[in-house]
Structure 1
Amino acid sequence: MSETIPSPTDIGALANRINLHTRDAHNKIDKAMSLNIAFALRHRFIYEDIIKTYYIVFSAIENKIDEIINMAPTSQTATILKSFYVEDFRRKPQLLKDLNILRIDPNYVNNEWLKTRPELNNFVDFINKSTTENPITILAYCHVLYLALFAGGRIIRSSLYKNLGFLPNFDHLTKQEMIEEGTNFFRFAPTTDAENKLRWTYKKNYELNTRQQLTESQKLDIINTASQIFDRNTAALFEIKDVNKDELMHKFSFKLITFLIEEWKFNDTVISQKTKKNILFSIAFIQALLAYFIIKRLVVNYLL
């Protein structure tokens, strides 16, 4: 199983052609994802935005996959999908588990929260429009987003294992259990060997069922869609950064204070650890005091 199908040098394989035509976009989104994940590991509200974003994206994709298979089960696209797409690939159920551990209501994400994300809405509209007008383009999403998650998921998961401080504490869960419960999005199988087998089978069946069954015109449509997926995915990621930056910079809030503290904690400084702890304690005390006076004023105003 050391050799995968297609091989990296197989220039006739659709997957390799997609990779070749999206190489620059791939490098760009790698940087965007790395930047967002680096911040997310220190700031829970950014991590939550990433989980909410991909819950919306993969829900849209998997709804279209189900629609294609159920509405036209004998169609060319449905036949190809059924040849390689299995339940273990589905990300929506895994993302729902992560939303649950983060105590986020999916109904809120689907409604109020989504209204604040125009780039993400554009991405979802594009998913629905492209796959409705040309169902075969769903194969672009199956390659670009799922295999990207396969490739990067382990690296991200490894980093998350070391930085679970932003997740809520549950007395009945051990650290290992918390790791298992809180990183479902990035896991495709219980073990590394099982993930390797799943990935190999996915790539093999994707290649075997797209090489001869698709026309050149269909392949070009898939490649073109793949390029647009990268662009829209990148825009959605930068939107996470921009929205949170605006929220932090436009008003002096507890979120801003927390952000600055966390950034300071994770960056080197000449200040000793003991001094840091004393300063952090003082800031925490001031935050608590401010909260007390704000709540007190609200209560007084309400009673009046």
Structure 2
Amino acid sequence: MASLQTPTQLLSPPPSPAPQNLSTEINTATRSIHTRLNKLIVTRLPLALPPIAKTPELYAHGINTFGDIYLVFENCWRVLIAETDKSDAHDLSHDNKLRQWLSQLVPPGLWRSDAIKKDLEYLETATGTDLEAVTNEQLHSFTEHIYRQTREKPHVLVAYSWIMYMAIFSGGRWIREQLTESGPEFWGVNHESDKHDYWIHGTLRPGFTLFCFSGNRDGEDIKTDFKTRLEKAEELLTERERKDIIDEAQYIFEQCVAIVEALDKQLMTDLELVKTLAAREAKNGTSHLKMAPTRAVLPENATAQTDEPKSANFIRAIVVGILAVGFYQSYRWQYGDLERA
């Protein structure tokens, strides 16, 4: 007797895949370009740190360039907050609800503009550097885009907050360790009392407070607060708005790559030296980066090469990308062990 089979049309359809939250969607969509940026930065970073860099001057140019991204998108955000404060509290439209949520998304203590301005002021005084001497047309084009895009689609500010702030919390910790290794004298901190207050027992270190947070939790409470506030995106954003945010996230990474590549051309980067560093990185792997990344991958003749004008320009070029190395560790956190963040 033939066995009875359930008609196909009566079978339950396979369960739909669980929907991803917005932050995971951003991470997934930007994986490829994120990896590309990582490679650009990791192969340039070694020449930006001691023992080759003797003063914070080159670091200052890096913060001045990539810091502009923070200054611009945070300024756009503050404009939105000011406008929202004047809006009708009884307006129940989607647009008003969206703006109300955005105006409260960034927790106190997370804004980075004040820290960047203080760092730049300190570094200009300590080094006597004219930070406006190096300009980047690619950066100018990007900041113009930020002003225009956030005005037309304010929800894309979510992309800037997720990428740029999470880079501070993950890669920024690693960068801070490398900068701290240079010692207080490198940063112009020479008085013993200042060394004790700012270096040994403090976290707000002159010159790179961008990567520092007040309080005994060093910003971890702020990060948790931000991620909690971001959860409301799952119920508030439309599909179109989610797509806008993901598209903007990809664009942010593309622009960071373009900024570094534009500087390669502008300052005549020694690409042969970059290839040498990349080959060393491929041979040695990246496990050494936590301890001493700059010493482990330098070619034997790197110090001698820095005396040449071409290599000096190269150092300036890659230091402009030092802030973006936060994406390197951010990548490991976002894709390697997401739940630990």
Residue number in structure 2 paired with 1:25: 33
Residue number in structure 2 paired with 1:230: 253
- Asked if 1:102 is matched to 2:126, the reply is no
Residue number in structure 2 paired with 1:34: 42
Deviations 1:123-170 (A, max 9, x none): 101111211121111111111111122111101111111124643354
Distance 1:185 1:204 in 2: 23
TM-score by length of 1: 0.69
- Secondary structure, counterpart of 2:73 in structure 1: helix
Offset, 1:96: 1.4
Contact 1:37 1:47 in 2 (8 A): no
Distance 2:72 2:298 in 1: 38
Deviations 1:216-271 (A, max 9, x none): 01100111011001101222234445544459xxxxxxxxxxxxxxx99x95759x
Amino acid across the alignment from 1:217: R
Pick from 48, 51, 54: which aligns with 2:63?
Answer: 51
Distance 1:211 1:181, change over 3 A: same
Offset, 1:190: 3.7
Pick from 121, 134, 143: which aligns with 2:162?
Answer: 143
Residue number in structure 2 paired with 1:199: 223
Report which stretch shifted further, 67-76 or 224-233: 67-76
Contact 1:48 1:102 in 2 (8 A): yes
Pick from 121, 141, 149: which aligns with 1:130?
Answer: 149
Contact 1:41 1:166 in 2 (8 A): no
Amino acid across the alignment from 1:196: E
Offset, 1:176: 6.5
Distance 1:113 1:61, change over 3 A: farther
Residue number in structure 2 paired with 1:254: none
Pick from 157, 179, 184: which aligns with 1:160?
Answer: 179
Residue number in structure 2 paired with 1:91: 112
- Secondary structure, counterpart of 2:20 in structure 1: coil
Contact 1:50 1:240 in 2 (8 A): no
Distance 1:267 1:140 in 2: 35
For residues 2-17 of structure 1, the aligned pairs below 5 Å read 11-17=19-25
Q: Structure 1: which 5+ residue stretches go unaligned? A: 1-8, 248-262, 271-275, 284-304
Distance 1:174 1:181 in 2: 10
Contact 1:149 1:186 in 2 (8 A): yes
The alignment's C-alpha RMSD in Å is 3.5
Pick from 55, 65, 75: which aligns with 1:63?
Answer: 75
Deviations 1:73-111 (A, max 9, x none): 353343222333023111111111211221269xx65xx
Contact 2:77 2:103 in 1 (8 A): no
- Asked if 1:213 is matched to 2:221, the reply is no
Distance 1:27 1:267, change over 3 A: closer
Higher RCO (C-alpha under 8 Å, 6+ residues apart): 2
Distance 1:267 1:35 in 2: 10
Distance 1:177 1:194, change over 3 A: closer
Distance 1:244 1:88, change over 3 A: farther
TM-score by length of 2: 0.62
Distance 1:224 1:205, change over 3 A: same
Distance 1:82 1:237 in 2: 32
Larger fraction in helix: 1
Distance 1:158 1:240, change over 3 A: farther
Contact 2:80 2:99 in 1 (8 A): yes
- Secondary structure, counterpart of 1:29 in structure 2: helix
Offset, 1:181: 1.6
Q: Structure 2: which 5+ residue stretches go unaligned? A: 1-16, 88-95, 271-293, 308-341
Distance 1:38 1:267, change over 3 A: closer
- Asked if 1:118 is matched to 2:137, the reply is yes
Residue number in structure 1 paired with 2:97: 76
